[in-house]
Amino acid sequence: MYKLIIICIIVFLSSVIADSLYPLPLEPTEHSYARTVLSKNGEPLRAFADAKGVWRYPVQIEQVSPYYLQALLSYEDRWFYWHPGINPFSMLRALWQNIYYGRVISGGSTLTMQVARLMEPHTRTLQGKLKQSVRALQLEWHWSKADILRYYLNHAPFGGPLEGVQVASYSYLGKSAQYLSRAEAALLAVLPQAPSRLRPDRHPERAQVARNKVLQRMVWLKVWTKEQVNEAQIERVIQQWHRPAVIAPLLARRLKSKVVANKGLITTIDHAMQQRLAAQVKQYINRLPPKTSAAVLVVDNATLAVRTYIGASHFMDASRYGYVDMVQAARSPGSTLKPFLYGLAMDAGLIHSASLLIDVPVSFAAYRPSNFNRSFSGVVSVSEALKKSLNIPAVQVLHHLGVNNFVSQLRNAGLRVYLPAGGKANLSVVLGGMGAKLEGLVSLYTALANKGLSGKLRYLPSDPVLQRRFLSEGAAFIVRDILTRDLKGKSGGNKAFAWKTGTSYGFRDMWSIGVSTRYTVGVWIGRPDGTPLPGHYGGRTAAPLLFSLMRSIQAKQEQQRAATKPDSVRQASICWPLGKQQSMTEIGLCHSKKTAWLLEENTPSTFFDDQLWASNPVSLLVDQTTGKRVDISCVHHATKKVKKALWPLAVEPWIPLGFRRKQQLPAYDAQCDYPSTQGEQPMVITGLQKHTVLKAKGSGLRLPSIKLSTKGGSGDVRYWYINGKEITITSSGKSFPYVFKRAGEYQITVIDRIGSTAMITVDISAL
């Protein structure tokens, strides 16, 4: 008895010493493993072969079909969960068969022994077999059965550069190993026995014969019924080959460094959505000029998880710069920042949704913006200015909010702002005068769906949900409500969502960003090399793609839910030109009624951008007998005090005659010898009458030329615009010639130093 114990101790100690002197080979370094980036459900998005060109899609046991596990263990190693690494009975049986037939019939290897050979290849000799057996015992000592099985699933050879059941399943069958049928499971179970000879893409007949052998074994072992196997044998082995997945390739390249050795990196990408939208984007961009590309992001508003990441429309097309990830490229954002300008101005108490803004050729701090459509609307509300993406009203609001304030709040919300080297932010930033990335813009737009909280986009499930207060909940609601339209631009509707477009200077970048109940979708279209796309702009080129993607995403969803109105917001009737609530405005001072969203009951006055507006409404003394204006030093009869609400001086050409200063302000009593104040002498354009029609003349139908000048107005400088484009600057009273280049309607506008404006329209006919 004691001798037996001593022998056992000696054997144990010998094993420990041998194990320490002859340890298991270390796993290959992480750089030798293929790196695989996966979707949120584990489907491969892109794999990067290892240094030896081997492809392997890491997989867990629970991610493999039970049919495959049944076929594998039943055919290769029925006693896997009971033996210590070697199966003496199987080895004796194999030895007898080999002696009886005079050739190798069976190897008698357990699954653990096969793993040992995969880890440390050896020759098929008795010495090699003994080494393999020792290694198998060591494996069982150090590893669990699950670890051994997992290693086999990921390293078994399947022909050529393929290792592991997952990559074999995708390559030969076009599906995940999780969804194998019985016939497919039997095929992949037998394939590692002779991967080159049985490759189904090259030798489908041989592969089918070997597969059927496994299926018959499953009946004999009573693992599957005869009926199940008969049905499985009907399936033919098809000669096919599926290229390695290249889905979300630029995101995979971006995340490659985060892949842990021999483990796939799970991302937040929705595999089916990514494939579907990528196909739509590619098909759409094919219709656009050469070198054009596109980038798209789809973000789940609730979790900030990125579900679709398209960095380029044509990844494999060098002529379209498919290798450039435009999700991360800093480009001019055009008008896409305007919603946040208005939202921040609401939070600052500067405006409400119906505040009166000016859309006329005017200068702000020596900066004279123009509209994209080269025309002017006169007076517009905040809502109208945002919906129409007008430039001049946006610059007016930014002028009052402050450029540095605006840029600082964008940065605080997480947007990385790119300014020219040594340059400073100016009023042009809201029109695209700086750089921003698509992912940064999309992160800002999630604030419209998340009660004013902007969020950092998440590409991995492990990424934390990080949000910052950007807008108040009320401001976010109002801005989203203004931008919410259906695909035809009409407010409301079951499929309505908030969307905004943008175009950079020179037609280099086209943007369209949409916010629905569930998703925020950002689209960029342009040429990665920065060359322009003349005739293409956000509304024409990027918006249709956004609408198409939104329809695809919303097709299987419930109807869009309207955003819940917070308690801090209510609707009220306000009056122009003063901007106050109707209930707080005297009847005679309410020239026009508008419905506004008010935030925290705040009703700020209309911006004053000229001297006469500063004391608005103005109080006047009027002679009750003559109706003339007088002052306290010149009273001949009884007087009365009247109030008048004045419109901004710059918009006078666009408002009804009855609301203009000349009609609102009575003339001074001549007996008082009171001088007219600056700006009350209206400026008019001379040289043409309004609505004049000019026709071409001469044998060549030469288009006419004109000479223009002004009378009245203030200051010694005049700024001239034709169809919204600044043409020239002249001195007061000096005329300038202009030759029309084509037929059509022309809007001619002039502005003086204090913002007084005159406008006429003429029609040039070539007939």
Output the CA angle 333-484-298, nearest 5 degrees: 55
- Antiparallel, parallel or unpaired: β 453-455 and 467-469: antiparallel
CB count in 10 Å sphere of residue 159: 21
CA torsion through residues 169, 170, 174, 180, sign: positive
Say how far residue 284 (Cα) sits from the centre of its chain.
Answer: 17
Catalytic residue of the set 43, 76, 163, 439: 76
Residue with the two structure tokens 């057996």: 133
Q: Is the dihedral of CA 207, 212, 218, 220 positive or negative?
A: negative
Q: Cα 232 to the chain's mean position, in Å?
A: 45
Write the secondary structure of 435-486 as one string of H (helix), E (strand) and C (coil): EECHHHHHHHHHHHCCCCEEECCECCCCCCCCEEECCCHHHHHHHHHHHEEC
Nearest residue to 679 via CA among 733, 612, 600: 612
Taking CA atoms, 569 is separated from 345, 353, 473, 555, 701, in Å, by 15, 11, 9, 32, 60
Pairing status of strand 757-765 against strand 744-751: antiparallel
Question: Phi, psi at residue 266, to the nearest 5°?
Answer: -80, 130
What tokens appear for 459 in the block? 């590409």
Q: Nearest 5°: CA angle at 173, between 171 and 179? A: 115
Instruction: Identify whether 76 is a catalytic site residue.
Output: yes
Candidates 143, 68, 75; CA nearest to 109 is 75
Residue 540 zone, left/alpha/beta (φ > 0; ψ -120 to 50; rest): alpha
Rounded to 10°, the helix 182-190/165-173 angle is 120
Shortest CA distance to 450 belongs to which of 515, 508, 510? 515
Q: Where are the beta strands (DSSP E) in 481-638?
A: 484-485, 497-503, 509-515, 519-526, 569-576, 592-599, 618-623, 629-630
Quote the CA–CA distance of 757 and 736 in Å, as a whole number.
17
Structure tokens at 103: 């050739």
- Asked if 583 is an active-site residue, the reply is no
Question: Which one of 74, 109, 313, 335 is the catalytic residue?
Answer: 335
Helix or strand run (H / E) with residue 709: strand 705-711
Active site residues: 76, 335
